Amino acid sequence: MAPKKEKDEEEGKEGKEGEELTADAGKKKKKLMIFAGAGVLLLLLGIGVPLMLMGGKGAEGDAEMAEESVPEVVYKRAKLDTFIVNLSNPKRFLKVTMLLEYDPALLPAEGAGEGGGHGGGGGGSGGAAKVDPTALPPQMKDKEPQLRDAVIQVLSSKRAEDLLTAQGKQSLKEELIEAINTALDFPEAAVVGVFFTEFIIQ
């Protein structure tokens, strides 16, 4: 029995050593798997994050490029003198002051088609003349009689009831823009908006 006992002990030792080897190998495999997983995760992050950032910037970059390629339009405004007109219904009138919003890039060049320049006058205070930022540009000032006539024609064709609602005022603005651009007769419609700064119906 001694040999069997020794044999069992040897098998037990081998079993323990085998288990220890298997446990060590299992721990090593586990560590290897953790490190491999961490490596794959770092690799994915290393590739994914820049792609996401570039992808996000690419979309923003495309939008920025589109914005840069289309120049931003800077509209200017010009104030018209006050209009007092009889409305189409009897004994009613409208007093209105308005600003025209226009695209200066669509105005014809100053002095286009006109003769030579006018001589400058001396005199004055010696300082630079103040320019009203809401004054009509020269191209519109030259056609101010036609512009005012067009506005008066549109305003006097309206009834008080038509102008009392927000929708009526909006419709009037659209009609005025069309009439003003027609009266100015520029190659392109420069006036893009009308703003009422005073609007009284009596």
Q: Are residues 31 and 54 in the same domain?
A: yes
Q: How far, in whole angstroms, is CA 83 from its chain's centroid?
A: 34
Tell me the CATH number at 103: 3.30.479.30
Average pLDDT score over residue span 129-138: 83
pLDDT score for 61? 57
Segment 61-115, tens digit of pLDDT: 555 655 566 678 889 999 999 999 999 998 999 999 999 999 999 888 876 544 4
Residue length, the chain? Answer: 202
Q: Are residues 39 and 66 in the same domain?
A: yes
Domain that holds residue 87: 76-109+133-201
The number of distinct structural domains making up the chain is 2
Residue 45's pLDDT band (cuts 50, 70, 90): confident
Q: Are residues 158 and 85 in the same domain?
A: yes
Q: Is residue 22 part of a domain?
A: yes
Q: Is the pLDDT of residue 39 over 80?
A: no
Q: How far is CA 189 from CA 13, 36, 68, 104, 109, in A?
A: 100, 68, 24, 11, 14
pLDDT score for 46? 76
Q: Rounded to the nearest 10 degrees, how much is the dihedral formed by the CA atoms of 77, 78, 80, 81?
A: 120
Q: Are residues 17 and 103 in the same domain?
A: no
- Can you tell me the distance from the alpha carbon of 155 to that of 162, in angstroms, rounded to the nearest whole number? 11
Q: Is the pLDDT of residue 156 over 70?
A: yes
Structural tokens at position 76: 């200017």
The answer to whether the CB of 83 falls within 8 A of the CB of 149 is no
Q: Is the pLDDT of residue 174 over 50?
A: yes
Q: Is the pLDDT of residue 52 over 60?
A: yes
Q: Is the pLDDT of residue 36 over 90?
A: no
- Can you tell me the distance from the alpha carbon of 111 to that of 108, in angstroms, rounded to the nearest whole number? 8
pLDDT score for 121? 46
Sign of the Cα torsion 54, 57, 63, 66 reads negative
Q: Is residue 122 part of a domain?
A: no
What's this model's pTM, rounded to 2 decimal places?
Answer: 0.58
Q: Is residue 9 part of a domain?
A: yes
What is the rounded average pLDDT for all residues in the chain? 79
Residue finishing a domain among 19, 51, 72:
72
The answer to whether the CB of 190 falls within 8 A of the CB of 102 is yes
DSSP-H helix ranges across the chain: 2-69, 138-141, 144-156, 160-163, 166-184
- Can you tell me the distance from the alpha carbon of 175 to that of 155, in angstroms, rounded to the nearest whole number? 10
